[in-house]
């Protein structure tokens, strides 16, 4: 089971990831990066907010946070700043704002941010690839067993999952996200677990499960679909991690993972039942999830 199919690094995605965290108000573990990128990150955020209401862009990315996610997804293969700005304009419907210079301004912000980022981390291009080996070894030690167990718990097609992991510079001490349009995840290249009871290898497995689960719930609209997929794959991910001894068999580990990893709070009615989702004789795991979706108000 060769999952994920490839391990890559991206300096451009590292820069966008850091800028996105700054705009979201999160504290970075390296104050130098916050100081260097703060001004240009907020200028870029202002440009992303200029997308013309009513355009295709508004339908695809209704608010700036969605546009940051898209920008990060488009940066995973390490494009140039001008290429990244052009990709973003095209994905946002062609004319992203009333100002014809929008793409030029976005490209300039990206170029300035990248230059400042590499001024703080001048060896990043060389050092980031060195983290691939240790992280891949950690995954290969228990990852295949994790996926096999997770597949048994959920019936997800994990054995044939096409996916890639793109490692970025760790500015939060542990983070990652599934990018469904790219069939990839970005993942902070940490070598030490931020949470002793929640190893980053387990988070990696959970993100891969999200990629596999995403097509199963295509009838559920965004953003609920994104939140639901992240939430409902977490309990079986914890169970699979405990089965292969990635995590200790502690009773409250699911709640700890929810607090540490889920980006949004669950609706109260869902929170009361979501950790109990499991296949039963009369219904599959997917059916149980769809039943839970009825509580998503």
Determine what percent of the chain is predicted with pLDDT higher than 70.
89
166 in the same domain as 108: no
CB 213 within 8 A of CB 229: yes
Residue 276 lies in a domain: yes
Residue 224 lies in a domain: yes
159 in the same domain as 215: yes
Please tell me the least confidently modeled range out of 99-103, 180-184, 193-197.
Answer: 99-103
Residue 1 lies in a domain: no
Q: Which of 101, 122, 143 is the last residue of a domain?
A: 122
Q: Which domain holds residue 257?
A: 131-293
Burial-class residue 200 by CB neighbours within 10 Å (0-12, 13-18, 19+).
buried
The count of structural domains within the chain is: 2
Determine what percent of the chain is predicted with pLDDT higher than 90.
65
Residue 4 lies in a domain: no
Give the model confidence (pLDDT) of 12-61 as tens digits: 999 999 999 999 999 999 999 999 999 999 999 999 888 754 444 445 56
Give the model confidence (pLDDT) of 48-83 as tens digits: 888 754 444 445 566 667 899 999 999 999 999 999
Residue 3 lies in a domain: no
pLDDT given for residue 276 in this prediction: 65
> What predicted TM-score, i.e. pTM, was given to this entire model?
0.92
Q: Which of 54, 89, 122 is the last residue of a domain?
A: 122
């Amino acid at each position: 089971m060769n999952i994920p199919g490839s391990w890559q690094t991206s300096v451009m995605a590292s820069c966008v990831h850091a800028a996105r965290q700054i705009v979201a108000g999160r504290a970075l573990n390296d104050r130098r990066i916050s100081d260097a990128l703060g001004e240009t990150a907020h200028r870029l955020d202002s440009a992303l907010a200029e997308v013309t209401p009513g355009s295709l862009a508004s339908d695809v990315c209704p608010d700036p946070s969605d546009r940051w996610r898209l920008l990060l997804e488009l940066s995973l293969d390490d494009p140039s700043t001008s290429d990244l700005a052009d990709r973003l304009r095209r994905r946002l419907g062609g004319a992203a704002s009333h100002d014809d210079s929008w793409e030029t301004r976005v490209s300039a912000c990206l170029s300035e941010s990248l230059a400042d980022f590499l001024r703080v981390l001048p060896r990043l291009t060389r050092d980031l690839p060195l983290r691939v080996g240790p992280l891949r070894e950690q995954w290969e030690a228990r990852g295949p067993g994790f996926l096999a167990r997770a597949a048994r718990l959920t019936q997800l097609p994990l054995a044939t999952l096409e996916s890639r992991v793109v490692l970025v510079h760790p500015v939060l001490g542990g983070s990652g996200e599934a990018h469904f349009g790219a069939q990839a995840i970005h993942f902070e290249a940490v070598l030490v677990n931020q949470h002793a009871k929640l190893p980053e290898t387990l988070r990696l497995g959970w993100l891969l499960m999200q990629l596999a689960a995403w097509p199963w719930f295509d009838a559920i609209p965004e953003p609920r679909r994104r939140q639901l997929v992240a939430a409902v794959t977490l309990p079986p991910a914890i169970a699979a991690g405990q089965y292969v001894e990635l995590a200790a068999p502690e009773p409250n580990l699911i709640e700890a993972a929810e607090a540490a990893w889920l980006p949004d709070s669950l609706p109260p009615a869902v929170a009361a039942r979501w950790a109990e989702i499991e296949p039963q004789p009369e219904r599959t795991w997917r059916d149980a999830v769809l039943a839970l979706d009825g509580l998503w108000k």
